[in-house]
Amino acid sequence: MPPMNPHSEAPMHVLYPISGNPPTWGHGDIMNRAARTFDKVTWALAVNPNKTYVFDEALRRRMMQDYIDHFGLSNVTIDSYHGATVRYAERIGADAIVKGLRNHQDMQAEMEQAMGNSGMNPNIETLAMFCSPRYSIISSTLIREIAMLGESIEPYVLPKVAERVVETLREKQLIA
């Protein structure tokens, strides 16, 4: 596959950061499409020490790997990081940051983050990918809420991820 960057012979490497608490079909869709579009994708958990996560970092990374395995991708690696996304992109040598957009609220928030990142490093672009319409209402928060009500979340996450979510919520006694 020829490099995506027409001004360079180097492969195009993008960072796709998520919090993924848990990763959804929407996250998987953006990651899969980024992997088909760019030479290399680093799919990374943005870990915020001021945020409480239902699913620990190791479990979220396993869930992310479930999506990579499901799609059979060899050009995606998983990582996690603390701190500014653009600084992490610099450290891994990413050419751009990919962000998934579901709606106009995502657009506003991601545009503000992109402006901040550009101020820190104008050489790393932020690229937006719109989610597939069927995933536009899915959020990690919605999935957690549905699962805690004891309802099926399989329409919103990979079946293996659904199993991991339910098992973890039972262990934490958040569902019966």
pLDDT at 127: 97
Cα separation values, 63 from 10, 56, 134, Å? 30, 11, 20
Which among 120, 46, 42, 124 has a CA at the least distance from the CA of 82? 46
Q: What percent of the chain has a predicted confidence (pLDDT) above 90?
A: 84
Average pLDDT over residues 3-20: 78
Q: Answer whether residue 1 shows pLDDT above 70.
A: no
Is the CATH code 3.30.43.10 the one for domain 13-133? no
Distance between CA 82 and CA 78 in Å, rounded? 14
Tell me which of 68 and 102 has the higher pLDDT: 68
How large is the angle between the packed helices 85-92 and 104-120, nearest 10 degrees?
Answer: 60
Question: Which region, left, alpha or beta, applies to residue 30 given φ > 0 means left and ψ of -120 to 50 means alpha?
Answer: alpha
**Type and span of the H or E element at 104:** helix 104-120
Average pLDDT over residues 165-170: 96
Domain range annotation of the chain: 13-133
Cα separation values, 165 from 31, 115, 120, Å? 20, 34, 36
Distance between CA 41 and CA 143 in Å, rounded? 25
The 3-class secondary structure across 129-151, one letter per residue, is EECCHHHCCCCHHHHHHHHHCCC
User: Which range, of 36-40, 77-81, 100-104, 155-159, averages the lowest pLDDT?
Assistant: 100-104
Q: Where are the beta strands (DSSP E) in 62-122?
A: 76-81, 96-101
Q: Answer whether residue 41 shows pLDDT above 70.
A: yes
User: Which range, of 1-10, 56-65, 100-109, 129-138, averages the lowest pLDDT?
Assistant: 1-10
Q: Answer whether residue 7 shows pLDDT above 90.
A: no
Sign of CA dihedral 153, 155, 161, 162: positive
pLDDT at 8: 60
Q: Answer whether residue 173 shows pLDDT above 70.
A: yes
Q: Kindly state the tokens that stand for 62.
A: 């396993």
Q: Answer whether residue 35 shows pLDDT above 70.
A: yes
Say what the pTM is.
0.91
Average pLDDT over residues 108-120: 93
The 10 Å CB-count burial string (b at 16+, else e) for 90-105 is eeeebbbbbbbbbeee
Tell me which of 75 and 50 has the higher pLDDT: 75
